[in-house]
Amino acid sequence: MSISGGIWKAIERGEALKCEAIQIFTKNQLQWFGKKLTALDVEMFYSEWKKSNIKKIVAHTSYLINLASPDRVNYEKSITALIEEVKRCDELGIPYLVMHPGSHKGKGERWGIRRIADALKIVLEDTSGTSTRILLETTSGQGNNIGHRLDHLAEIMSLVGKEDRLGVCIDTAHIFASGYDISTEHGYRNTMKYFNRIIGVSFLFAFHLNDSASPLGSKLDRHAHIGKGFIGEKAFSLILNDENFKGIPMILETPKEGNWDTINLATLRKLRGY
């Protein structure tokens, strides 16, 4: 949901669509740093949230942050920017901050995983007084992005160690494009079993529910409307009705065009059965 006009406006926008969870950027996502939140921003945000039916709010980091950047200046800027984002979330009472792990730009996955873990250690140390959890998002594997194997996320988490501050967000379009076939019941169960084995289902704190406009294993990040892509409705029905994921925020990141938010939400509610 857009925060244009004030950060609390995102809550109004979510309410209008009867959302139970929303995702926001806590500042312009194309900029490194945001204006400091005023006391009024924070107060408006809390009061709108409290009187709404929205239970969970998830934030997403700026796209500029790259914790695997080989460039030292960019790497350090990414760390500083992420620290700022964690603090903003904490001020707003937002429990989860989703981020793409990072791109190693040709330095290799092993190198990238270590670089990200080192950065996260600094960020979590610097924000040790806060309670916002950083959620590493599964990626499609486009370019040199880390996170297209669940093993990458497991390894980063074990290198960092801070179990109370880290978790995972599964993006259905990304995980499918990266090669995990969640479109069939058998494939879905196998993927989740594997997730549970190497990461643990208790570390899954959010879903991005997107269909994929690119096929299984294509490594291309292309979001489609629910039921209109290569994944199909089945996977969403399995996730929505999975006892393990009750109460976990599930966020649409489908193209914002026409009244597709309404249509996609109606499809998901139909699949959930209430």
Cβ of residue 169: shortest distance to Zn ion, in angstroms? 7
Cβ of residue 89: shortest distance to Zn ion, in angstroms? 17
CA dist., res. 46 & res. 41, Å (int): 9
Name the residue nearer to Zn ion (CB basis): 118 or 253: 253
Cβ of residue 38: shortest distance to Zn ion, in angstroms? 29
Name the residue nearer to Zn ion (CB basis): 86 or 173: 173
- Label each residue of the chain as H, E or C: CCCCCCCCHHHHHHHHCCCCEEEECCCCCCCCCCCCCCHHHHHHHHHHHHHCCCCEEEEECCCCCCCCCCCHHHHHHHHHHHHHHHHHHHHHCCCEEEECCEECCCCCHHHHHHHHHHHHHHHHHHCCCCCCEEEEECCCCCCCEECCCHHHHHHHHHHHCCCCCEEEEEEHHHHHHCCCCCCCHHHHHHHHHHHHHHCCHHHEEEEEECEECCCCCCCCCCEECCCCCCCCHHHHHHHHCCHHHCCCCEEECCCCCCCHHHHHHHHHHHHHCC
- Among 64-72, 106-114, 149-157, 203-211, the segment contacting Zn ion (CB under 5 A): 203-211
Name the residue nearer to Zn ion (CB basis): 91 or 137: 137
- Among 105-113, 115-123, 207-215, 231-239, the segment contacting Zn ion (CB under 5 A): 207-215
- Among 10-18, 22-30, 200-208, 235-243, the segment contacting Zn ion (CB under 5 A): 200-208
- Taking CB under 5 A as the rule, does residue 208 contact Zn ion? yes
Name the residue nearer to Zn ion (CB basis): 126 or 253: 253
State the number of binding residues for Zn ion (CB under 5 A).
3
Measured in residues, the chain has a length of 274
Name the residue nearer to Zn ion (CB basis): 26 or 48: 26
Name the residue nearer to Zn ion (CB basis): 24 or 41: 24
Contact string 158-177 vs Zn ion (x = CB under 5 A): -------------x------
- Within residues 210-269, the interface with Zn ion by CB under 5 A covers 253
- Among 99-107, 176-184, 204-212, 233-241, the segment contacting Zn ion (CB under 5 A): 204-212
78 token code pair? 């990414």
Q: Which residues bind Zn ion (CB under 5 A)?
A: 171, 208, 253
